[in-house]
Chain A
Amino acid sequence: MKLISRKTLLLFFLPGAIFMSAFLIYPIITMVIDSFFEIGLTGNRAFVGLENYIHAFAAGGFLKQLKNTVVYIVIAVGVETAIGLLFALFFEMNYKGNKVIRSFMMVPLMIAPLVAGLTWKLMMSSSFGIVNELLQRVGIIADSSAILWLADEKWSLLACCIADIWLTTPFMMLMILAGLQGMDNSMVEASKIDGVNMLQQIFYIKLPVIKPVLLTALSIRIIDAARTFDIIWAMTEGGPNSSSETISIIIYKTLTRYNDVGYASAMAVIFIAVLVAFTIVFMQSLWNPKKKIG
């Protein structure tokens, strides 16, 4: 039986679809078109074919930013996953008050990324930053300005990663925890009877069971890390000497500081294409769309 007529379905669908087309899909299409033009300050356009794309991959293009983005993703997501897993295993245990502790753990989850960035900028400043003060007290560094977190090319990207890790590890923990809680407890019980130790239990039983959740969480985080803007902008604005500049930052800078709309669009198109491809490939292995539609 056909429940809802096509007309009504369309009626339900259209307002949202039109709205999204006008303010989300239309901009994307104009961006793709813009990427083939060189657009001057006054808005005069000249068709340049693939020149913007070639520029992006040539020397002085966005290869450095691409590398930074990849490094950022690997460090931030890698550490988050490790710590998140550890936390999840701790919080999985049942005891009085574990819900309360878990709630507090989730506090950073909803903080604005900008605020997280500003917080860490304050903590990592060279002379009055609490991080260096702590490191000095512990004896890791000799002098409170030995590590210039935000002003040294070696450290700036890592500093941004740390802020990101602080902000989003709770998310990772939450996802893994959800996976762990959904698992069948009899498996753990059975393994205990078989005399399996704690580590074996984690690596051979728990991890395989939560693998799908873990992979989904990873893919969400990889994409989020790739598009991080606020944290880096708050902490370093991509500096010093573009050492912490990621693709998001360079696109924004190209648009606002150098006013090169064509080139910015070309970079954005490449960026979106990569992320969408990643999403589709990653999701397809986990998630079957046919299953979703009844």
Chain B
Amino acid sequence: MKKKMEIGKKIAIGLSIILTVCWLIPYIYVICCSFKPGAEVIAVPPKFFPRQLSIENFIGLFERTDVVGFLVNSLITAICSTIIALILGSLAAYAIQRSGAKLSIFLVVLVLCLKMIPTSSIVVPIYELICKLGLYDTKIALIIVYAAINMPFVMWTMLSFYEGIPTTLDEAACLDGATNIQTFQKIILPICKPGLATAFIFTLFLAWNDFLVALLLTSTNAKTFTVGLAGFLSAYNLDLGPMCAGAFLFSFPVMAISLAAQKYIVQGMTAGAVKG
């Protein structure tokens, strides 16, 4: 009986390894394509692995587009918007969680609903607003919009973390003569570090990966990497090699960070769902 279980387990382990490898094939294929010479990417019939390694695609990518500029834009907008969303969102969420008023239930539901709103439908009025403010095609516009769109997510994550902190802790700090700001800064925030880390990584990736907002709100100056990457589809229709190189360049840091910070990502994904 036990032996049978052992064999079953081994088969299952084998299967799960095979499944994982299969699942990663598309991504491996992109990496392979980015190191193929340009002509081999669109060769008929296609080969999975490159027959000869080449960095031709990367050179093409850097020559044809302003890769560095796009990357800088993506990075600046992602980081700045994340910091704004994190500071304002965590403060507001604390106020909502600790107020205990009837209104706060309404606010929690409101936050949840805002979190669910599809970006594709609110870009219409956001576009008008940004144009009215004269911020079209600026990094500031992207920073503001990303921060606003992602703030409900930060609040949602932080709400579930604050909930786990007993109010007696606030009380103790209060009795010791700490001001409210001090309590928040020195007592609550340090405990919530994992929550903050989760919210930070997630918001950062959401902004970094965004395509739609940047597509609509930028044209040349503040163009982000995703928009530049999509440009390969229309302007240089058959330049799939550089596109792969770009896709690889763009997503590799994300992969590396997400593997390293997996704990926080798992927490962010399952926040509020498991504890319910």
Contacts and interface: CB of A to CB of B under 8 A. Distances in A.
A264 B216 CA distance: 14
A91 interface: yes
Interface in B114-162: 114, 116-129, 144-145, 147-149, 151-152, 155, 159-160
Given A111-B254, A256-B216, A122 B20 contact: no
B243 interface: yes
B262 interface: yes
A60 interface: no
Interface string B250-272: 11001101110010011001101
A288 to B, nearest CB: 9
A281 B89 CA distance: 25
Contacts, number: 307
B152 A20 contact: yes
A212 B29 CA distance: 37
A130 B36 CA distance: 14
Chain B, interface size category, equals 35 or more
Interface stretch (A4-12, A46-54, A74-82): A4-12
A72 B107 CA distance: 32
Given A34-B125, A272-B122, 13 more contacts: A4-B180, A9-B99, A10-B95, A93-B16, A104-B20, A108-B24, A111-B209, A119-B29, A170-B23, A220-B273, A252-B123, A280-B109, A280-B113
Interface of B: 9, 12-13, 15-17, 19-20, 23-24, 26-27, 29-30, 33, 41-46, 48, 84, 88-89, 91-100, 104-105, 108-109, 112-114, 116-129, 144-145, 147-149, 151-152, 155, 159-160, 163, 167, 170-171, 174, 180-181, 184, 205, 208-209, 211-212, 216, 226, 229-230, 233, 240, 243-244, 247, 250-251, 254-255, 257-259, 262, 265-266, 269-270, 272-274, 276
Contacts of A109: 258, 265, 269
A21 to B, nearest CB: 9
Interface in A1-59: 1, 3-6, 8-10, 12-13, 15-17, 19-20, 22-28, 30-31, 34
B129 A107 contact: no
B16 A91 contact: yes
A234 interface: yes
A112 B17 contact: no
Contact of A289 (B108, B180, B258): B108
Interface stretch (A152-160, A199-207, A224-232): A224-232
B180 A229 contact: no
Nearest to A290: B105
Main secondary structure of the interface of A (DSSP, over half): helix
A20 B151 contact: yes
A119 B229 contact: no
Contact of B20 (A105, A129, A264, A275): A105
A223 B112 CA distance: 12
A90 B12 CA distance: 6
A73 interface: no
Nearest to A87: B19
B251 A115 contact: yes
Contacts of A252: 120, 123, 212, 216
Contact of B126 (A27, A212, A223, A229): A27
Given A27-B125, A272-B121, A279 B29 contact: no
Nearest to A127: B44
B100 A28 contact: no
A211 to B, nearest CB: 11
